[in-house]
Structure 1
Amino acid sequence: MKPLILVLGFAFSTLCAAQGFPSKPLRWIVPFPPGGSTDGFSRPLAAKLSELLGQPVVVENIGGAGASIGSDRIAKSAPDGYTIGLATTGSHAINPHIYGAKLPHDTIKDFTHIALAVSYVNVLVVNPNVPAKSVGELIAYAKANPGKVSFGSAGNGSSNHLSGEVLKVLSKAPMEHIPYKGSGPAMTDVMAGNISFMFDVLITSIPQMNAGRVRALAVTSAKRSPYVPDVPTMDESGVPGYNEAGSDLWFGIVGPAGIPRPIVARLNEKLIEALRAPDMRQRIRIQAFDLWTSTPEEFSAVLKADHAKWGKIVRAAGARID
């Protein structure tokens, strides 16, 4: 009888805590430096969430080690719902395979996966002088000219690095990876002709495409992007299987493992309400993202599938950091 009373008492206290949640400010950790797309997405969403919850949501940037430092701060916070933060395909599906045992947390077991928020695509852009008007022509050129085709990325293990590795694996074309400290310097070198191509997000690629500084060959998504409807998908461009190999890129909201289910449900509800607000939808469009909301269970399922998918890509690329 006593254990039952204890269980009922715990359940009652949890319910009461959820009904009064939140009673103080929340902390939102962005595991990346200020100024990037993750920061630009998080701040307006946190502000909208603050309006809906009636409490401040304070954004804190904790960058470093490929997002693993900030992510670990989330994982090791008290599981009371007052510390949440941003997760990305890179931080939660790719990093476990890049860092291996050096990663101080398990991205599946050590987090509460509250909600998916948006999806986005990478676009393959080449220097205009590269003699290729399609991905098929780029592959043929690389095979006919070993050592001449190179691609840049934001760094070893970044999503745009691995987007290039997927292309290498599926096409079996010789392409040299050149890692940079961020996507900006890589794009600068594509435009200058120092490297042949790169994969990058639409918000930074579209202005360069419109100015004629780079030429877009394909997007990594399963369907064409509404933001660049004339750019074909990788599958349409003669790289069958690209979508299944690793095209899904997303942002989601997580907290430490063990947050009470009623609090998770409330956070999920209010996050989705915030994401669907007209002003937030407009911001999402400006960043060339697509709204992708989910239940906590759906988010966990997506993460587990992507964790396995990207693991195969990292192993094929040999991108592990020892």
Structure 2
Amino acid sequence: MKLPDRRHFLQLAAGLAALPTVPRTVRAQAYPARPVRMIVPVAAGGLNDVTARLIGQWLSEHLGQQFFIENRPGAATNLGTEAAVRAPADGYTLLIAGSNAANNATLFETLGFNFIRDTAPVGSIIRVPQLMQVNPSLPAHSVPGFIAYAKANPGKIAMGSGGNGSPAHVIGEYFKLATGTDLTHVPYRGAAPAVADLLGGQIQVTFTEMATSLGYVRAGRLRALAVTTATRSEALPDIPTLGEFIPGFEASQWVGLVAPKGTSSAVIGKLNAEINAALGDPAMRARFADICGTALPGSPADFGKLIGDETEKWGKVIREARIKPD
């Protein structure tokens, strides 16, 4: 599948400021004049949903209108994403987007939309590390030890994930490609059942979102080997990064806000300013830290570049590992 045109996306983000000044100012002052719908393309309770509710509450309090959450799960986030991109580009329908959007551009051969072409970036919100963790019965206490054991036992280590093409699966395949290890992928319907089987010993390793299993690691029921981000996590400062053993290795989940293509630059600018204000607020940063999230402030163009870079990076992994959706 041909990847979306990154140049188009970045030009769109960078060109937002080029619209006429007077209409932009008027729209910025008037917006929002009524409640705003924020589509979350996953079920309630997960990372994207919690992020949406935190940022939605801030926007409601600071912009004077209700930003209400509409969960539209299904088809690996594609159902809710398509509903958002087909909505009027008036600023009253927004989309909470996550790492799945970058993966799905390559993972699905046929979609009813092109994420990069059909959306306008508003702002990134948080980045969350994945945690490489094993069942304590596995005789591996470090990343080098795990790699050595895996190479001595090809195909015998079961790697669980939240489903084919999920961020945990794609990151796991990235690890396999980077280390030359042969792990057997076992897909589950979500991260929670994968962690449950990891606790029970039915599988031996996962690369799940940190908040899902942090409590089990701290209780000693799971063994954390590494975090996937470029820097160590404040939640587990003694746990190394994978990059400390595999040069250049970096992976994380991210969450941000996008709007339908053609949404006014005034609206996007106003929303971006409020998101960045939220990310600079100590109380909000603490609430994001509760879900192991690190604030990711920046401009719409910065977010556009992140999405483009992630789409390209994970597209290569998906093709090389020959990952197919459920």
Q: What TM-score do you get using the length of structure 1 for normalisation?
A: 0.92
Letter in 1 for 2:54: P
Q: Which runs of 5+ in 1 are unaligned?
A: 1-9
Q: Within the alignment, does 1:108 sit opposite 2:112 as a pair? A: no
Query: Is 1:45–1:275's contact at 8 Å kept on the other side of the alignment?
Result: no
Match of 2:214 among 193, 203, 206: 206
Which one-letter code corresponds to 2:320 in the other structure? A
- Give the match for residue 295 of structure 1: 299
Alpha carbons 2:132, 2:205 under 8 Å: kept: yes
Q: Distance in 1 between matches of 2:150 and 2:282?
A: 45
2:106 aligned partner: 97
Worse overlay, 249-258 or 15-24: 15-24
Q: How does 1:39-78 map to 2 (within 5 A)?
A: 39-78=49-88
2:247 counterpart residue number: 240
Q: Please tell me whether residue 251 in structure 1 is matched to residue 260 in structure 2.
A: no
Q: Which amino acid aligns with 1:83?
A: T
Matched-pair contact (CA < 8 Å) for 1:190–1:197: yes
1:104-150: CA deviation from partner (whole Å, max 9, x where unpaired): 11111100100001111101000000010111111111111123111
1:85 aligns with 2:95: yes
User: Given the superposition, is the C-alpha separation of residues 249 and 37 from structure 1 closer, same or farther in structure 2, using an over 3 Å criterion?
Assistant: closer
1:134-173 → structure 2 map (5 Å cutoff): 134-173=142-181
Q: Secondary structure at the match of 1:104?
A: coil
Q: Is 1:31 matched up with 2:22?
A: no
Match of 2:14?
Answer: none
| Amino acid paired to 2:325 | I
Instruction: Name the structure 2 match of 1:275.
Output: 279
- The superposition leaves residues 229-278 of structure 1 with CA deviations (integer Å, 9 ceiling, x where unpaired) of 11111121x322322xxx14211101100011111111111122223333
Please state how far the C-alpha of 1:279 moved relative to its aligned partner: 2.7
Partner of 1:6: none
The residue type paired with residue 34 of structure 1 is A
Q: Percent identity?
A: 37
**Root-mean-square deviation over aligned CA pairs:** 1.6
Aligned letter for 1:81? G
The answer on whether the counterparts of 1:100 and 1:320 sit within 8 Å (CA) in structure 2 is no
Is residue 264 of structure 2 the alignment partner of residue 260 of structure 1?
Answer: yes
Letter in 2 for 1:290: T
Q: Which runs of 4+ in 1 moved over 6 A?
A: none
Shift of 1:12: 4.9
Decide whether the 8 Å contact of 1:52 with 1:274 is kept in 2.
no
1:314 match: secondary structure = helix
Letter in 1 for 2:116: I
What residue in structure 2 maps to residue 5 of structure 1? Answer: none
SS in 2 for 1:287: coil
Report 1:179-194 matches (<5 A): 179-194=187-202
Q: Deviations over 1:160-192 (max 9, x none)?
A: 101110111011111100000000010011111
Aligned residues: 308
1:56 maps to amino acid: Q
CA contact (8 A) 2:279 2:296 kept: no
CA offset at residue 38 of structure 1?
A: 1.5
Secondary structure of 2:108 counterpart: helix
CA distance in structure 2 between the aligned counterparts of 1:265 and 1:114, rounded to whole angstroms: 7
Counterpart selection for 1:226 from 229, 234, 240: 234
Residue 200 to residue 317, structure 1, CA distance change in 2 (3 Å): same
Aligned partners of 1:12, 1:293: CA distance in 2, in Å? 27
Could you tell me how far 1:85 is from its partner in structure 2? 2.0
Q: Matched residue of 1:195: which SS?
A: coil
How many angstroms apart in 1 are the aligned matches of 2:182 and 2:80? 36
What letter matches 1:232 in structure 2?
P
